[in-house]
A and B are shown apart, each in its own frame.
Chain A
C-alpha cells in the first residue's frame, strides 16, 4: 500500500514494524516529532517510551533495555548525540545492540565525523546507514535493527532535517521483517536464567582481566565481520564515466540531477552513493578510481567524507571536494544549486582533462 508520509512519521512506524519496543528521549529539533510518534506508537504495540531527563539518561535507559534483550532505539540530533557518545562507544565495545537515529541539524551533513568516526573513547566503529529518500529511511531503519541484532553491535541511522521533513509517496510495507522473537536472545540479561551459565553483559566482569590492555577482542572481531559482509552502495552511469560524483544522504539524491545535466552538456558523468558510511565502500571506490579520470565528492559540510574518499582512491585518479556549509553567498543554500554544481564539475573537468574538453 502506498502512502504519502513525512520522514519523521515513516521512521517511527518503520521502527515499530522492525521490532523496536523501547525508546527513551529528550526533545531536540528536528527529531522531536519522531519521539512524539514513538511515545504513542510504542505503548500501542506493547512497548515503552520514557521521556528522559536528558540525553545521557535517555541513551543509558536504551542501553539497559537492549542489554535485557528488548529491541531499543534512541532518537536525537547533533548536540544530543554528542552527549551520548560515551554510551555509544561503551555499547560498541560491550556488544549492546542499540539503534541510534542522528537527525543532523542546521548544516545538514556536519555530523558525518560525529557518526562515522565516533566521538567516544576507544577503538571502535559503529554501523552507519545513510538513507537518501523517505523510502530508504524506512528500509534502512529496519535494516539498522536487523544488523544491530545480527552482530550485537550499535547501528546508526544518519538522517538530516531535509530528509526527515520531506514527505514522499512511499511503500510502508506490511512485510518489514521484525527482529522480535518469542524468546529473548541467549545473551540477553533477563535475571530469569535457569541454566548453569550466568548471563553477563559488559566487559568488565570476570576475573581481573587486563581489559584495558588488550582492547576488546569481541568488538574487533564483530567489526571485521561487519566490514567484510555489510558494505552497501548505489552507483549509476559509471560504466563509461570520466567523472563520478560521490555523495551520501539527501545530497546524493540531488547530485543525480547534476549528473544528468552534465551528460547533456557532453561530459560523461556518473554517480556513486555510499549507503553504509561505515563500513565505507572503499574497495568499490578504489576499483572505480582505476577506470575514471576524477572523483568529485559533494557534501554539505567542510569536506568530511572527502577524507574517506581520498583514502579509498589511493591516488589512482584526481579528486575534487565540493563542500559547503549552506552559506547563501557561496551559491549553496540548504541544498545544492544544481547549476552551481554543474558549473564547478564542468570547469574542473575541462581545465584538467583535455580529452574531456574536446568531446564537448
Chain B
C-alpha cells in the first residue's frame, strides 16, 4: 500500500489556512461547511491582495460571529439588509471590493428584495450566500431554499410542494436580471467543488474590480447538526440531493468586456 503514496518531498502545498483568517474561537459545529467557506473567501482576499482594500457586510446567521475571524474591515447588517448597506458603502467608496456574506434565511427569505434591487441596479458589489437550506442559527427551520422532502423542525415530515411551495433558486433568479454580470453556485462538499467555488469568488471579485456590476456566488454548505446527520452523511446529502435542486456551476458570466452597466467605468 505504502508505494501508492507520493514521497513527501515531491508534494507541494497548494492550499492552507489563509493568513487573514485569525486564530479565534468560533462556535461553528463539527462538520459545518461555513468554516471551509470562510477559508475560501479569505484565500481569495489574500491572493488578490485585498486585505487593505475590502469591506465585508455581514448578515445575520451562524456565520455572523465567526466572521470576526476575517481580518478585514466589516460592517454587520440586519437580517436580509446586507445588499442595501453594501450599496451605501459602495456608492461612497470607489475602490474597495465590497461583498456581503449572507445565509439562505437571510437572502432567500428576509432579504430577497434588497438582493434583487441591488442586482437590477447593477450595483458593483458581490453577494455571497451560504446556503444550507435551513435557518441553522435558530435550530433548523425551513427557509424558502429548503429542498422538497427536506426535514426541518418546521417541516418535520419533509417539505412538500402542496403545502410549503417550491425551493427558491436565487442564482438563477438573480442571473435573469440585466444588472447581474456573474452568478454561480458552488459547494463545500468535495475538494473539487471547493476549488471551483474558490474560482467563482475570485471571478466575482475580479469582475467587481473591473466595475462590471453585480455578482453573486452561492455556496452550498453542510449543516450536520441542523440536518440531523453525521458529517459524512451531510457531504452525501449535498452531492446526491441538494445539488439536484440547486444545480452547481456557473449560471451567468457576461465576461470581461467593458459593460454598459450603471456605475461601470468604461
Footprint of B on A, CB under 8 Å?
Answer: 21-22, 24, 48, 50, 52-54, 56-57, 60-70, 72, 86-87, 90, 94, 189-194, 198-208
Query: What are some 17 contacts across the A-B interface (CB < 8 A)?
Result: A48-B91, A60-B85, A63-B84, A65-B88, A68-B75, A68-B93, A70-B92, A198-B71, A199-B73, A201-B76, A202-B58, A202-B74, A202-B76, A203-B76, A204-B58, A206-B68, A207-B65
Chain B 62-83 near chain A by CB (<8 Å), digits 1 or 0? 0011011001111111100100
Say how far A58's CB is from chain B's closest CB, in angstroms: 8
| Chain A residue with the shortest CB-CB distance to B74 | A200
Given A56-B84, A63-B84, A64-B84, 8 more contacts at CB 8 Å? A63-B88, A64-B77, A66-B88, A67-B89, A70-B92, A193-B52, A201-B76, A205-B76
Contact pick for B73, options A22, A24, A198, A208, CB 8 Å: A198
B residues 136-152 touching A (CB-CB < 8 Å): none
CA distance A69 to B92 in the complex (A): 9
Contact yes or no, B74 A190, CB < 8 A: no
CA distance A121 to B114 in the complex (A): 21
Q: Is the interface of B mostly helix, strand, loop or mixed?
A: mixed
Contact yes or no, B25 A198, CB < 8 A: no
Say how far B180's CB is from chain A's closest CB, in angstroms: 16
CA distance A67 to B85 in the complex (A): 9
Return chain B residues, CB-CB under 8 Å to A192. Answer: 52-53, 73, 95-96
CA distance A68 to B64 in the complex (A): 19
Count of chain B residues near A, Cβ 8 A = 40
Contact yes or no, B91 A191, CB < 8 A: no
CA distance A200 to B95 in the complex (A): 18
Return chain B residues, CB-CB under 8 Å to A191. Answer: 52-55, 72-73, 93, 95-98
B40 within 8 A of A: no
Contact yes or no, B76 A22, CB < 8 A: no
Contact yes or no, A61 B88, CB < 8 A: yes
| Chain B residue with the shortest CB-CB distance to A205 | B68
Return chain B residues, CB-CB under 8 Å to A206. Answer: 65, 68
B86 within 8 A of A: yes
Contact yes or no, B96 A190, CB < 8 A: yes
Say how far A89's CB is from chain B's closest CB, in angstroms: 10
| Chain A residue with the shortest CB-CB distance to B64 | A204
Say how far B182's CB is from chain A's closest CB, in angstroms: 21
Return chain A residues, CB-CB under 8 Å to B52. Answer: 191-194
Most chain B Cβ neighbours within 10 Å, of A22, A57, A191, A207: A191
